[in-house]
């Protein structure tokens, strides 16, 4: 037993790339087990470093991030804003204005968000979500007197709207 262990260390230090392959295999095996990829884990254990390499390229790289490659912060939102602006230009649907208003609201651009919410309400004045979000936008803009009728109408229609956030917004000022 001791002789076999010594032989293993001798081989490992004679070929250092084997250590790298082994560490890579263990890394991919642990990832496969954590992700529940049992078939891949089996092949990584019985296979050589080739199975771990295949797992890395076919499974691991795709699961690390929802988007591939490097992206600047906010790039996803800028892309979504351009996409929504194009849809508004071509289709002029109220839910596109609403979604654009939500993005601006999250960014803290309350004037732009208010403009989008009001444009959405012009196209669909009965939309409860748009009225609630416009009311919250007006609250954040320090205009509670304008927000109150909107939020009261939403609460009268559905007291549990947006999991109670609309009710909490009404209680805020």
Domains of the chain: 2-64 (no CATH), 76-171 (1.25.40.10)
Secondary element (H or E) of residue 71: none
Spatial distance between the Cα atoms of 162 and 102, rounded to a whole number of angstroms: 14
Higher pLDDT, residue 129 or 55: 129
Q: Is 70 exceeded by the pLDDT of residue 117?
A: yes
Identify the pLDDT of residue 130.
96
pLDDT per position as a tens digit, 58-95: 887 765 444 444 455 666 788 899 999 999 999 999 99
Spatial distance between the Cα atoms of 131 and 136, rounded to a whole number of angstroms: 9
If you average pLDDT over residues 3-21, what whole number do you get?
72
Q: Is 70 exceeded by the pLDDT of residue 120?
A: yes
Identify the pLDDT of residue 123.
96
Decide: 116 and 130 in contact? Cβ < 8 Å: no
pTM: 0.59
Q: Is 158 helix (H, G, I), strand (E, B) or coil?
A: coil
Identify the pLDDT of residue 52.
86
């Amino acid at each position: 037993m001791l002789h076999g262990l010594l032989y293993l260390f001798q081989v490992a230090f004679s070929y250092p790339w084997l250590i790298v392959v082994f560490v890579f295999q263990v890394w991919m095996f642990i990832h496969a087990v954590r992700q529940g990829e049992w078939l891949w884990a089996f092949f990584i254990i019985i296979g050589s470093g080739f199975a771990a390499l295949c797992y890395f390229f076919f499974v691991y790289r795709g699961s690390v991030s929802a988007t591939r490659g490097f992206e600047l912060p906010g790039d996803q939102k800028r892309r979504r804003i351009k996409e929504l602006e194009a849809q508004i230009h071509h289709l002029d649907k109220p839910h596109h204005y609403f979604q654009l208003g939500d993005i601006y609201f999250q960014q803290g651009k309350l004037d732009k968000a208010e403009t989008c919410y009001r444009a959405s309400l012009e196209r669909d004045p009965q939309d409860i979500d748009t009225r609630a979000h416009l009311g919250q936008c007006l609250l954040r803009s320090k205009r509670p007197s304008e927000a109150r009728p909107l939020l009261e109408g939403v609460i009268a229609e559905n007291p549990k709207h947006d999991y109670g956030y609309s009710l909490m917004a009404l209680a805020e000022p």
